[in-house]
Each structure stands twice: as structure tokens, then as C-alpha cells.
């Protein structure tokens, strides 16, 4: 099995930050992949599969986080995640 770990720094672009709906989108996205996602802010790291963990990481707009994805399909996962975050979850506000 190929074990890959990818890291990428991403800036939170949407107005509300990683609020409930955004966090739910991330968790939902993760369910489509086998890889595990972790989101790091400063010295704290959240489990990307836990909506509560992401929410309590507290990431308002402009926060820089580091996404770390481990597993065989990490590349595809990272691509979709970056898209989602960079487009600000396609929020219409």
C-alpha cells in the first residue's frame, strides 16, 4: 500500500470562516476518500473527520491553516479540499 502524506497551507477565504456548514462540507468530503485529514492552526490540530473538532479549532476568515492528508488517495482529496476552501465554499453572500 502506498502511504502518502501531503501538507498544504491554505487561507480561509469565506466570510464566515470554518463555521458549521463549512465544517460539515469538509467532513462530508472526507467521507468520499480513504485518506485521513488533519487541519492544523498554530500548535493545535483538528481531526478532519470530526465536525466538532473542526469547529472548535475556530478559524475565522483570513486564518491560515495547514491541511495534512495521509493515505493512498491523498492527492485527489487535497485537490478537492483546496478547491473547496479557495472558492470559499461557493458561499453566495
Partner 1 sequence: MTESDIGVRKALRGVAVSPGIVIGKARLVDRSKVKIFYQYLLGDDQLNREIERFEEAARTTEDQLNAIKNGMPEQLKGHSFILDSHLMILKDSMLHDATIQRISKEKINAEWALKKSLEEIRWAFNQVDDEYISNRVNDVENVVERILRNLSGDEQQSLSHINERVIIVAHELSPGDTSELNPSKVMGFITDAGGRTSHAAIIAQALQIPVVVGLESATKVVGEGDLLIVDGNSGEVIINPDDEVIIEYQEKHLRHEKYKSSIARVSHLPAITLDGHPIVIKANMEFLEEVTAAREHGSEGIGLYRTEFLYLKSKELPSEEELFQDYREVAEIIAPEPVTIRTLDLGADKFASRHEIDREANPALGLRAIRFCLKEPEIFKRQLRAILRASFYGRVQLMFPMISGLQELLDAKEIMGQVKDELNRENIEYDHSIKVGIMIEIPSAVTMAEILAQHVDFFSIGTNDLIQYALAIDRVNEHVAYMYQPFHPALIRMIRQVVNAARDAGISVSVCGEMAGDPFCVCILLSLGINELSMNARAIPIIKKIIRTISIEEARADFENVMRLSTAKEVQAHVSNRMKSLVPELAEKGYFEGWDYLLD
Which residues sit at the interface with partner 1, rule CB under 8 A? 16-21, 24, 27-28, 47, 49-53, 55-56, 58, 60
Strand ranges (DSSP E) for the chain? 5-11, 36-41, 44-47, 64-70
Smallest gap from residue 4 Cβ to partner 1 (A): 23
Closer by beta carbon to partner 1, 56 or else 79: 56
Closer by beta carbon to partner 1, 19 or else 80: 19
Smallest gap from residue 24 Cβ to partner 1 (A): 5
Strands 64-70 and 44-47 come out as unpaired
19 included as an active-site residue: yes
Nearest residue to 65 (alpha-carbon basis) of 90, 82, 89, 83: 82
Pull the grid cell for residue 53: 473538532
Q: Which of 6, 10, 17, 19 is catalytic?
A: 19
Pull the grid cell for residue 14: 469565506
Closer by beta carbon to partner 1, 19 or else 40: 19
Amino acid at each position: 500500500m502506498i502511504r502518502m502524506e501531503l501538507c498544504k497551507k491554505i487561507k480561509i477565504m469565506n466570510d464566515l470562516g470554518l463555521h458549521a456548514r463549512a465544517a460539515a462540507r469538509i467532513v462530508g468530503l472526507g467521507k468520499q476518500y480513504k485518506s485521513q485529514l488533519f487541519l492544523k492552526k498554530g500548535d493545535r490540530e483538528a481531526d478532519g473527520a470530526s465536525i466538532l473538532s473542526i469547529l472548535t479549532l475556530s478559524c475565522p476568515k483570513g486564518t491560515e491553516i495547514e491541511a495534512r492528508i495521509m493515505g493512498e488517495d491523498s492527492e485527489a482529496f487535497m485537490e478537492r479540499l483546496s478547491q473547496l476552501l479557495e472558492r470559499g465554499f461557493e458561499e453566495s453572500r
